[in-house]
Structure 1
Amino acid sequence: MLIYFLRRLLYIVPVAIGVSIICFLLVHIAPGDPLTSIMAVDATQEEQAAMRAAYGLDKPLPAQYGIWIGKALTGDLGESIATGRPVAGEVFNAVRNSLLLAVAASLIAFPIGLLLGFLAGYFRDTAFDKMITAVAITGVSLPNYWLGIVLVIIFSVTLGWLPAMGAGPGGSGGSADWAWDWTHIRHLVLPAITLSVVPIGIVARTVRALVGDIFSMDFVQALYAKGLNHGAVLRHVIRNAAPTALSVMGIQLGYLLGGSILIETVFNWPGSGFLLSNAIFQRDLPLLQGTILVLALFFVFANLIVDVAQAAIDPRITRN
């Protein structure tokens, strides 16, 4: 198990390097000048050249990448072109807010998705299965930003039960001022429910297919033939379905942390998606690069944790 973990950890190095290169290049090949928003319209050629030199944009791309990744390894992601603040601080605060929202959405989505998927697979090809499948397909198909707007209209505007936006009573302060009381949690309810709808459908459909296929396998009949009771057989089925289900949930957790730009915009939630949206519109290269890099690396490490968890559940994986 330790060797498997170290091998998987070693695989992260080239993946992380590849991710950093892609993040750097994709941002730089996008059209537009990142200094347009802060440079005076009547700036002279000398002033433009000085501004480019200040931000290191006068160097060749390989040199820019080397400087950027070297600083990133020390935790320095540069300064925002739009605000002048350190990118690392802004990204850290946004990711904390997104992590808070992602964990809340996961606590809703994963148990419900697993339960619905298992029941649908257990009662496969019945009316109950068709009903759950319809619910899952509806959840995946609904535009989540539209659902968020509908929930705001119902629970905030019409009923007045929950706040429509922000991450706390003081506005959009986020996790820095977060407290686990109803005053703060009520700001989390609507965005977490909205963000959880798609993962519920994806997890439910995946688990339904897994459980249905496993129940049709010969080894299940062999377990019954050996005299195992129904509960013992169910434990074997769950254990065989768990690695794939974990993999799907790990991927969904990565997507949840990345957040939905539209959902965070609808609820004015100060997360990574909201920050990424602002960086794109402001053409803020350092902020855009830093946000994408941190989110991509989180996704990579989330997959590492899922791989290790899969190996712990199913030791056969370590032999591959």
Structure 2
Amino acid sequence: MLTHLVRRLIYVLPVCFGVSLFCFLLVHIAPGDPLTSIMPVDASAEQQAEMRAAYGLDKPLPVQYAIWLGKAVSGDLGKSIATGRPVADEVFRAVQNSLLLAFTASAIAFPIGLILGFVAGYFRDTAIDRMVTAIAVTGVSVPNYWLGIVLVIVFSVTLGWLPSMGAGPGGSTQWHWDLEHLRFLILPSVTLAVVPIGLVARTVRALVGDIYSMDFVQALQAKGLRGGDVLRHVIKNAAPTALSVMGLQLGYLLGGSILIETVFNWPGSGFLLSNAIFQRDLPLLQGTILILALFFVCMNLIVDVAQAAIDPRIKRN
């Protein structure tokens, strides 16, 4: 197990380097000048040169990347062009809010998706299977931002049960574990959980159905094992793939919630990324993309190690 972990860690290093290079180049090939938002319209050539030198934009791209990467490794992601505050502080504060939203949505989506998938796979080609499949397809097909707007109209505007925007009373961005703040978490987390429910349910349904048709399951049934004992073997064989899907979905929930965070004005990484794009805030954009990408890489590493712990056959690959 230790050898497998060390090997995976070695594989992660070039991936992280490639991610950092991609993040740096991605924002630089975009059209527009990042300093136009803070530079006066009538700025002279000398003022423009001083501003570019202050942000290191007067150097060649390879030099800019080397300086940025060296600072990023030490935890310094630069300063925001729009606000002047350290990028690391803004990104980590937003990532905390996104993690709260992503883990809450996962706590809703994964148990429901697993239960629906196992039920549909166990009762394959029956009315129950068709009903669960219809629910899963609907969850995957419905645009989550549209669903968020509908939930706001129903539960916030019409019924007045739940707040529609922000992370706390009065537009607060600081989270506290109390009932008042939990009310702000319900609508965005439920909206964000709909797509993973459908994806996990469909994946697990296909896995369980295929495993039940394998020879070893038929041999277990021929030996007289009861349904619960057979199901335990089916779950063990389906667990690695199901865990992989859930790990990827957790990464997507953190990095792909930009529309949901915008709809609900949730102060997370997606909302921060949206503002950075519109403001052409280069350091903030780079830092946000880098942290989200590295989180996704770390999630894949954790899932890979967990899969090997569940299924020893994976260690041989």
Counterpart residue number, 1:157 = 157
TM-score (norm 1): 0.98
Counterpart residue number, 2:134 = 134
Which of 186, 191, 206 aligns to 1:194? It is: 191
Counterpart residue number, 2:221 = 224
**Cα deviations across residues 17-39 of structure 1 (Å, max 9, x unaligned)?**
00000000010000000000001
**Cα deviations across residues 268-287 of structure 1 (Å, max 9, x unaligned)?**
10000000000000000000
Q: Which amino acid aligns with 2:209?
A: G
Counterpart residue number, 1:287 = 284
Counterpart residue number, 1:270 = 267
Is it true that 1:251 corresponds to 2:248 in the alignment?
Answer: yes
Structure 1: where are the runs of 5+ without partners? none
- Matched residue of 1:173: which SS? coil
After TM superposition, the runs of 4+ consecutive aligned structure 1 residues lying more than 4 A away are none
Counterpart residue number, 1:312 = 309
Q: For the Cα contact (< 8 Å) 1:172–1:269, is it kept in 2?
A: no
Counterpart residue number, 2:91 = 91
Rounded Cα–Cα distance in structure 2 between residues aligned with 1:30 and 1:206: 37
Counterpart residue number, 1:124 = 124
Using the TM superposition, give the Cα deviation of residue 4 of structure 1 relative to its aligned residue in structure 2, in angstroms: 0.4
Is it true that 1:237 corresponds to 2:263 in the alignment?
Answer: no
Q: For the Cα contact (< 8 Å) 1:172–1:268, is it kept in 2?
A: no
Rounded Cα–Cα distance in structure 1 between residues aligned with 2:208 and 2:170: 46
Rounded Cα–Cα distance in structure 2 between residues aligned with 1:83 and 1:259: 24
Is it true that 1:30 corresponds to 2:17 in the alignment?
Answer: no
- Matched residue of 2:170: which SS? coil
Counterpart residue number, 1:59 = 59
**Cα deviations across residues 89-133 of structure 1 (Å, max 9, x unaligned)?**
000000000000001000000000000011111111111111111
Rounded Cα–Cα distance in structure 2 between residues aligned with 1:24 and 1:287: 11
- Matched residue of 1:210: which SS? helix
Counterpart residue number, 1:182 = 179
Once the two structures are overlaid, the 10-residue window that deviates more, 166-175 or 121-130, is: 166-175
- Matched residue of 2:169: which SS? coil
Q: For the Cα contact (< 8 Å) 1:102–1:259, is it kept in 2?
A: no
Using the TM superposition, give the Cα deviation of residue 228 of structure 1 relative to its aligned residue in structure 2, in angstroms: 2.1
Q: Which amino acid aligns with 1:6?
A: V
Distance 1:5 1:108, change over 3 A: same
Rounded Cα–Cα distance in structure 2 between residues aligned with 1:138 and 1:154: 19
**Cα deviations across residues 58-98 of structure 1 (Å, max 9, x unaligned)?**
10100000000000011000000000000000000000000
Using the TM superposition, give the Cα deviation of residue 46 of structure 1 relative to its aligned residue in structure 2, in angstroms: 1.0
Rounded Cα–Cα distance in structure 1 between residues aligned with 2:6 and 2:280: 39
Using the TM superposition, give the Cα deviation of residue 259 of structure 1 relative to its aligned residue in structure 2, in angstroms: 4.0
Rounded Cα–Cα distance in structure 1 between residues aligned with 2:291 and 2:230: 42
Q: Which amino acid aligns with 2:43?
A: A
Counterpart residue number, 1:43 = 43
Using the TM superposition, give the Cα deviation of residue 265 of structure 1 relative to its aligned residue in structure 2, in angstroms: 1.0
Counterpart residue number, 1:7 = 7
Distance 1:134 1:174, change over 3 A: farther
CA RMSD of superposed structures (Å): 0.8
- Matched residue of 1:311: which SS? helix
Counterpart residue number, 2:167 = 167
Rounded Cα–Cα distance in structure 1 between residues aligned with 2:172 and 2:140: 28
Rounded Cα–Cα distance in structure 2 between residues aligned with 1:296 and 1:127: 41
Using the TM superposition, give the Cα deviation of residue 232 of structure 1 relative to its aligned residue in structure 2, in angstroms: 1.3
Using the TM superposition, give the Cα deviation of residue 138 of structure 1 relative to its aligned residue in structure 2, in angstroms: 0.7
TM-score (norm 2): 0.99
Rounded Cα–Cα distance in structure 2 between residues aligned with 1:172 and 1:275: 15
Rounded Cα–Cα distance in structure 2 between residues aligned with 1:255 and 1:170: 29
Structure 2: where are the runs of 5+ without partners? none
- Matched residue of 2:161: which SS? coil
Rounded Cα–Cα distance in structure 1 between residues aligned with 2:236 and 2:214: 14
**Cα deviations across residues 275-306 of structure 1 (Å, max 9, x unaligned)?**
00000000000000000000000000001110
Counterpart residue number, 1:17 = 17
Q: Which amino acid aligns with 1:268?
A: N
